[in-house]
Each structure stands twice: as C-alpha cells, then as structure tokens.
Amino acid sequence: MQRDPIRHALITGGAGAIGSRLVRRLLADGAISVTVVDDFSSGYAWLLPKDARVHLVRGDVCDLARLVPTPEPDTVVFHLAAFFANQNSVDHPTDDLHTNGLGTLATLMWAADHALRRVVYASAGCSIAGHNIDAPIREDMPVSLFLDTPYQITKALGEFYCNYYQARISTVRCRFFNSYGPGEVPGEYRNVIPNWIWKAMHGEPLVITGTGDETRDFIFVNDLVDGLVRCGSVSGASGEAFNLGTGIQTRVRDLANAILAATGSTSAIQFAPRRAWDHSLRRQADIGKAREVLGLAPAVRLEQGIAETVAWFREERSRIEETIGAMA
C-alpha cells in the first residue's frame, strides 16, 4: 500500500473531541504545519497542544475561503467541523444544515479551487444505510432515503457532495462509528461514554434509553484517528468510503457496567424509553475493506480504552468542570 506523508494539514473542527487528537497525531508524525479552523461552538482551545506548528483560525467553516485565502498547495484537509449530533439536529435542524450541509460544500469548493491534495470527510456510520439494515454494515450497502434525523441526512448529503467534487479533487469518505476517548467533554448533546463516566464519577444514575440490549460499535479515538490519517495518506483510498469502527458490538448494558467498574462507582443503572428517533437496535461496522485498503487495525479494547478515558477525566477534572460550568 502506497502512503504519502502528510506535510501540511488543515482540520476544520480541529478543536473538537476527535480533531484535537488528530492534531497531536499529525504533529507526532512530523507534519510541518497543522491549521485548525474552528468556531469553538463545541470545541475548546485547551484541548489543543501548544506547538508552534499549530495555527488556530477562529471562524465559521462556511467562511473558509475568506478565513484561509492561501493554503499550502499540498494540504490534506480533514473536514471534521459539524453540528453534533443526532438529538441536537432534531432540536435545531437549520443549524445542522448550515454547518453540515453548507459547511461541507464550502470546504469542498475551497479545496477544489486551490487544487489541494485531498479532502477527508467525516461521515457517520449511522447515516447512509438507515435503520432497517442488518449489522454488520458494509460500505456498499444501498443508501436509504429514510434516515432518522437531520444529522444523518446532512452527513449523507456531505457524501453526495464529495462524490460530486471527486471529479475536481481527491476525496475520501470516512464513516465513523461511535468514537470515545480522552478529549470529549460531557454535555447535553454529547456521546454516552463521556456522559456516563462523568455521572458515575458524581454518583448519579446512568440512564439507558431502551432495554440495554441494543448494541453499538465503539472505537477508541486514537484508533479512529489512525484510520483518518490513513485515509489522508493512502493513495488508493481516493474516491472511496470506509467504515472506521472495530467490527465488535457491545451491548449498552455491558458498557454501563464497564464504566461503573472502571470508575469504582456505585451509581444505579436506570431505564427510560428509547428516544423517538432512535430505531437502531444493532450497530456494527464491517471493517474488511478498511483493513484491506487502508491497513486499519484497531488495537484498543473497550476496557482499556475506558480506563484511559477515565484517567483523562481525573487528570482534567477541573478544566472539564469549568467548561461544563461555562456552557450552563
């Protein structure tokens, strides 16, 4: 597999949970410059490493052409800026369309106009196939016209735009499954793992919306970031879609117990009705294509990943508290 090193990168949404880890990885790999474009709506400057090679540009991704008028010619763009995620989009569908729809179009237009090396697009494993599909989900499964949330619709829209722009610029569509790890601050619209770790640390109940037998495919953020870097650097990935998951399903009730064990918490597990839009009983990525073409090999098992995430929460407790306090 041919891999070309990434010398210059621009990450939209680079101050977010995944973007901030991607910045670290690219620097560790020897990147010359990493430009972060972020409006800090759900990202935080303190998540970013202090390094002279990191250039922070504050603003709306829809204004990318104005914000970054002269990018380095061989820049790889990682387009991660998004209005996150399903429930947020149900509550605020026009904000979702603004960032996830127009923001993706603006990124592709700008990258194509400057003939940049590649755009790696953060799509979602919950998009594309819809909920009537049996796990494991493969990249070549048919696209559903019956998606469950505006977020899923706009993530799919971004893929349509990537395919359209492929004639002018190399694009790779990455379908993330459930990412977790250091860097994700809990919040109303955030993922289950950070929210449950925080609740467990505070002795509050972990509420399962459903029966607890639902499954998800949880991938540790460093493994996901490894997949992203491969999507940016493997020449044969151009024009393709890849599932970035582990291929392993975890029951939601097992996840709750794993978090209680890792935090040493005696929090109760409670049950509430499934959210109205959430029809997915099983989620599991088929990662055969990502293994073959990208060499993806997720290495971190759930227990280890949760332990590392809990360690980060303990280390950053006061900054997380301040951030949550500022959001309230």
Query: Cα dihedral sign for 153, 158, 161, 163?
Result: negative
Query: Which residues 75-134 are close enough to bind ligand NAD by CB under 6 A?
Result: 80-85, 99, 103, 122, 124
Does residue 196 touch ligand NAD according to CB under 6 A?
A: no
**How near is the Cβ of 2 to ligand NAD at its closest, in Å?**
26
**How near is the Cβ of 217 to ligand NAD at its closest, in Å?**
10
Does residue 258 touch ligand NAD according to CB under 6 A?
A: no
Per-residue H/E/C for 93-138: HHHHHHHHHHHHHHHHHHHHHCCCCEEEEEEECCCCCCCCCCCCEC
Q: How far apart are CA 93 and CA 310, in angstroms?
A: 33
Does residue 42 touch ligand NAD according to CB under 6 A?
A: yes
Does residue 218 touch ligand NAD according to CB under 6 A?
A: no
Surface-to-core class of residue 189, CB atoms within 10 Å of its CB (0-12 exposed, 13-18 middle, 19+ buried):
middle
Of residues 179 and 222, the one with the C-beta less far from ligand NAD: 179
**How near is the Cβ of 264 to ligand NAD at its closest, in Å?**
26
Would you say 293 and 140 are in contact if contact means Cβ atoms under 8 Å apart? no
Does residue 176 touch ligand NAD according to CB under 6 A?
A: yes
The residue range among 17-25, 107-115, 277-285, 291-299 that interacts with ligand NAD, by the rule CB under 6 A, is: 17-25
Would you say 67 and 43 are in contact if contact means Cβ atoms under 8 Å apart? no
One-letter amino acid for residue 53 of the chain: R
Q: What is the CA 10 to chain-centroid distance, rounded?
A: 16
Of residues 40 and 160, the one with the C-beta less far from ligand NAD: 40
Using CB under 6 A, pick the residue from 6, 26, 54, 61 that binds ligand NAD: 61
Phi/psi at 127 (5° precision): -90, -175
Does residue 43 touch ligand NAD according to CB under 6 A?
A: yes
Using CB under 6 A, pick the residue from 75, 86, 88, 179 that binds ligand NAD: 179
Using CB under 6 A, pick the residue from 1, 5, 30, 40 that binds ligand NAD: 40
Binding residues for ligand NAD, total number by CB under 6 A = 30
3-state secondary structure (DSSP) of residue 34: strand
Using CB under 6 A, pick the residue from 23, 26, 38, 110 that binds ligand NAD: 38
Would you say 286 and 239 are in contact if contact means Cβ atoms under 8 Å apart? no
**How near is the Cβ of 153 to ligand NAD at its closest, in Å?**
13
Q: Which of 44, 151, 161, 165 is catalytic?
A: 151
The residue range among 32-40, 160-168, 235-243, 309-317 that interacts with ligand NAD, by the rule CB under 6 A, is: 32-40
Q: Which residue has the tokens 């794993």?
A: 258
Of residues 5 and 160, the one with the C-beta less far from ligand NAD: 160
Planar angle of CA 231, 292, 128, nearest 5 degrees? 60
**161 classed as catalytic:** no
Q: What is the CA 156 to chain-centroid distance, rounded?
A: 14
Does residue 17 touch ligand NAD according to CB under 6 A?
A: yes
Of residues 30 and 195, the one with the C-beta less far from ligand NAD: 195
Spatial CB neighbours of 242, under 8 Å, sequence gap ≥ 6: 139, 172, 173, 174, 175, 227, 231, 289, 290, 293, 294, 296
Radius of gyration of the chain (CA): 19
Other C-beta atoms within 10 Å of 26: how many?
Answer: 27
Of residues 4 and 51, the one with the C-beta less far from ligand NAD: 51
Using CB under 6 A, pick the residue from 9, 18, 208, 258 that binds ligand NAD: 18
Report the catalytic residues: 151
Interacting residues toward ligand NAD by CB under 6 A? 12-13, 15-19, 37-43, 60-61, 80-85, 99, 103, 122, 124, 176, 178-179, 191
